[in-house]
């Protein structure tokens, strides 16, 4: 069991309740068809300023002493660096934020790099980090900025490589998160799985959006398929949650137990045990 998988598992469990409390705007379940409706909510960046400096300040308390020293040093160098020297420093800073699993400040640094390089990989890095930051945040103003920036990043990437599935998946997720045209985003994700049926990111997000819109049966089918392709913590946890919502306790317990086995983290495992105990009552 690697450290990254443990971190992912712990994070998934920590934010699961919040994800349920935050349904996707405009993605509602139709009583007539059982499919998402297309109620649109105007999307766009909020008036509240969310910047690299503001998210960096929030993230710094999560750094260890060595990381904090590196971040402060690089930030100071970036402020005084010439335009040509900044990208290398910003890339080093983004790498530290990545290592500390702090996607928001990493995203802004990759965005700044991409705006100068117009390189496909830089735009995708920025978009992916903004999507990750959206998922990790509980600040709705910040989420609006993250989703809007992710859309811009992936649209820029797709201009460079129109057929790239990672960029198309990221754009689909960002559009749904933004709430302006969720069915457009879902459509992009469905295009990806049509072309690549076992695409991990597209299937995971389609499953998550199905759960947010109350379509737990569809979510369970998608997550079950994912676990058959590859055994991972996140799909098993969401599969257990979907089964729980469907009242399929036996299946939910089995999925939770497999999730706990794969996670290999005692603290997170105790939380899983609590979920199992509730189901056995």
pLDDT at 17 over 50: no
CA distance linking residue 276 with residue 249, whole number of Å: 9
pLDDT at 2 over 50: no
Range 8-37 average pLDDT? 47
The answer to whether 5 and 263 are in contact (CB under 8 A) is yes
The predicted pLDDT at position 30 comes to: 36
The predicted pLDDT at position 267 comes to: 81
Range 100-119 average pLDDT? 97
Domain ranges of the chain: 46-176
Task: Please choose, from the candidates 118, 147, 144, 115, the residue with its C-alpha nearest in 3D space to the C-alpha of residue 131.
Answer: 147
CA dist 253 to 8, 233, 237, 242, 260, Å? 20, 14, 10, 11, 10
Question: Is 63 in a helix, a strand, or coil?
Answer: coil
CA distance linking residue 258 with residue 60, whole number of Å: 34
pLDDT at 209 over 90: yes
CA dist 130 to 64, 247, 258, Å? 23, 35, 30
Q: Hey, how many other C-beta atoms are within 10 angstroms of the C-beta on 48?
A: 12
pLDDT at 280 over 80: yes
Question: Is 29 in a helix, a strand, or coil?
Answer: strand
Range 122-140 average pLDDT? 95
User: Left, alpha or beta for 264 (phi > 0: left; psi -120 to 50: alpha)?
Assistant: left
Question: Is 36 in a helix, a strand, or coil?
Answer: strand
pLDDT at 40 over 60: no
pLDDT at 186 over 70: yes
250 burial class (0-12, 13-18, 19+ CB within 10 angstroms)?
Answer: exposed
pLDDT tens, residue by residue, 250-259: 999 999 999 9
Q: Domain 46-176 belongs to what architecture?
A: Alpha Horseshoe (1.25)
Q: What is the pTM of this model?
A: 0.84
């Amino acid at each position: 069991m690697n450290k990254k998988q443990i971190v992912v598992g712990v994070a998934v469990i920590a934010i699961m309740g919040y994800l349920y409390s935050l349904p996707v705007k405009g993605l509602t379940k139709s009583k007539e068809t059982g499919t998402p409706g297309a109620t649109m909510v105007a999307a766009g960046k909020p008036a509240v300023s969310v910047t690299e400096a503001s998210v960096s300040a929030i993230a710094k308390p999560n750094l260890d002493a060595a990381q904090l020293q590196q971040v402060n040093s690089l930030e100071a160098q970036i402020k005084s660096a010439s335009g040509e020297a900044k990208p290398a420093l910003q890339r080093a800073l983004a790498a530290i934020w990545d290592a500390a699993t702090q996607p928001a400040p990493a995203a802004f640094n990759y965005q700044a790099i991409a705006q100068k390089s117009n390189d496909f990989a830089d735009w995708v890095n920025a978009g992916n980090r903004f999507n990750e930051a959206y998922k990790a945040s509980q600040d709705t103003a910040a989420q609006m900025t993250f989703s809007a920036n992710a859309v811009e990043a992936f649209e820029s990437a797709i201009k460079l490589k129109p057929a790239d599935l990672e960029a198309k998946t990221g754009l689909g997720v960002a559009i749904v998160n933004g709430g302006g045209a969720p069915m457009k985003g879902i459509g992009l994700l469905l295009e990806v799985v049509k072309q690549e049926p076992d695409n991990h990111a597209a299937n995971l997000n389609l499953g998550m959006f199905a759960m947010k819109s109350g379509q737990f049966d569809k979510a369970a089918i998608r997550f079950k398929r994912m676990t058959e392709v590859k055994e991972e913590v996140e799909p098993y946890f969401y599969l257990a949650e979907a089964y729980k919502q469907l009242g399929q306790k036996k299946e939910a317990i089995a999925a939770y137990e497999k999730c706990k086995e794969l996670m290999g983290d005692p603290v997170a495992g105790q939380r899983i045990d609590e979920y199992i105990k509730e189901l056995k009552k």
